[in-house]
């Protein structure tokens, strides 16, 4: 059986109807759920499921449902499907198949759970702050302004550049004609593209490379 423990962002009538239908159960604290649950399903809501971190740490097998919007936590690129979690399609069409696999391969499923808990055990607040700063620095790479003595032309249009690396998304407004480079250390940038010219005319910028 599956039930909701809390109905959020909804009016009282909807919440009451869901309770009458038996869809809402008692809330279970994380420690009790970790001890009692062999399997934990993680599904995004209107944002990332922030509870996934403790699920990875719980020693239970995490069935991670793919985000239809591409949401992911900043550390998730360090975790791998079938290594740290069992992947499930966003439409849940393979949920039964993945569950059956875990039931038929208990040792391998237990190994996945153990590897997940070990991975997140190595992530402390301090280490993740350092990781985030390194990723931001690496993502931004190097920015070179105009040559010495050259004054930027305030009439030049700006180009909006969207970049994503290691779960961190950065939006930059770069003046056309300037040199800029976006890179992501040993991780290649997943997306680097020009999305918009702010002014009504086009003026190519000199350089945009990974």
* Tens of pLDDT, residues 99-131: 999 999 999 999 999 999 999 988 888 887 777
Q: 196 pairs with which residues across the strands?
A: 160
Predicted pLDDT at 14: 86
The count of residues in the chain is 210
- Residue 57 scores a pLDDT above 60: yes
User: What distance in Å separates the CA atoms of residue 74 and residue 86, rounded to the nearest whole number?
Assistant: 19
Run of H or E including 140: helix 125-140
Other CB atoms within 10 A of residue 158 CB: 16
Residues 6+ apart with CB under 8 A from 164: 170, 189, 190, 191
User: Of 20-34, 68-82, 183-197, which has the strongest mean pLDDT?
Assistant: 68-82
Q: Report the 3 state secondary structure along 55-120.
A: HHHCCCEEEEECCCCCCCCCCHHHCCECCCEEEECCCCCCHHHHHHHHHHCHHHHHHHHHHHHHHH
Instruction: Report the percent of the chain where pLDDT is more than 90.
Output: 26
CA distance readout (Å), 102 to 54, 118, 146: 20, 19, 58
Which of 36-40, 49-53, 175-179 has the least mean pLDDT?
175-179
- Residue 194 scores a pLDDT above 60: no
Work out the average pLDDT over 12-31: 84
Work out the average pLDDT over 148-163: 49
Q: pTM for this one?
A: 0.60
Predicted pLDDT at 47: 75
User: What distance in Å separates the CA atoms of residue 191 and residue 51, rounded to the nearest whole number?
Assistant: 27
Which own/partner contact pairs does 131-138 have at CB distance under 8 Å and 24+ positions apart? 131/74, 131/75, 132/74, 132/168, 134/185, 135/74, 135/165, 135/166, 135/167, 135/168, 135/184, 135/185, 136/168, 136/170, 138/165, 138/166, 138/183, 138/184, 138/185, 138/187
Work out the average pLDDT over 14-19: 87
């Amino acid at each position: 059986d599956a039930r909701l423990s809390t109905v959020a962002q909804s009016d009282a009538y909807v919440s009451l109807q869901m309770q009458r239908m038996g869809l809402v159960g008692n809330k279970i604290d994380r420690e009790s759920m970790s001890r009692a649950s062999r399997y934990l399903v993680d599904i995004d809501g209107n944002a990332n499921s922030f509870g996934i971190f403790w699920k990875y740490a719980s020693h239970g097998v995490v069935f991670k449902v793919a985000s239809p919007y591409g949401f992911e936590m900043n550390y998730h690129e360090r975790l791998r499907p079938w290594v740290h979690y069992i992947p499930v399609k966003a439409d849940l069409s393979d949920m039964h198949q993945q569950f059956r696999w875990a039931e038929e391969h208990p040792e391998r499923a237990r190994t996945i759970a153990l590897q997940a808990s070990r991975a997140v055990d190595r992530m402390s607040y301090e280490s993740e702050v350092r990781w985030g700063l390194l990723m931001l620095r690496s993502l931004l790479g190097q920015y070179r302004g105009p040559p010495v003595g050259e004054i930027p032309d305030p009439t030049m249009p700006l180009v909006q550049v969207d970049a994503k690396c290691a779960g961190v998304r950065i939006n930059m407004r770069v003046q056309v004609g300037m040199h800029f480079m976006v890179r992501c250390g040993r991780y290649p940038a997943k997306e680097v593209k020009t999305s918009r010219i702010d002014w009504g005319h086009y003026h190519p910028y000199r350089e945009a490379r990974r």
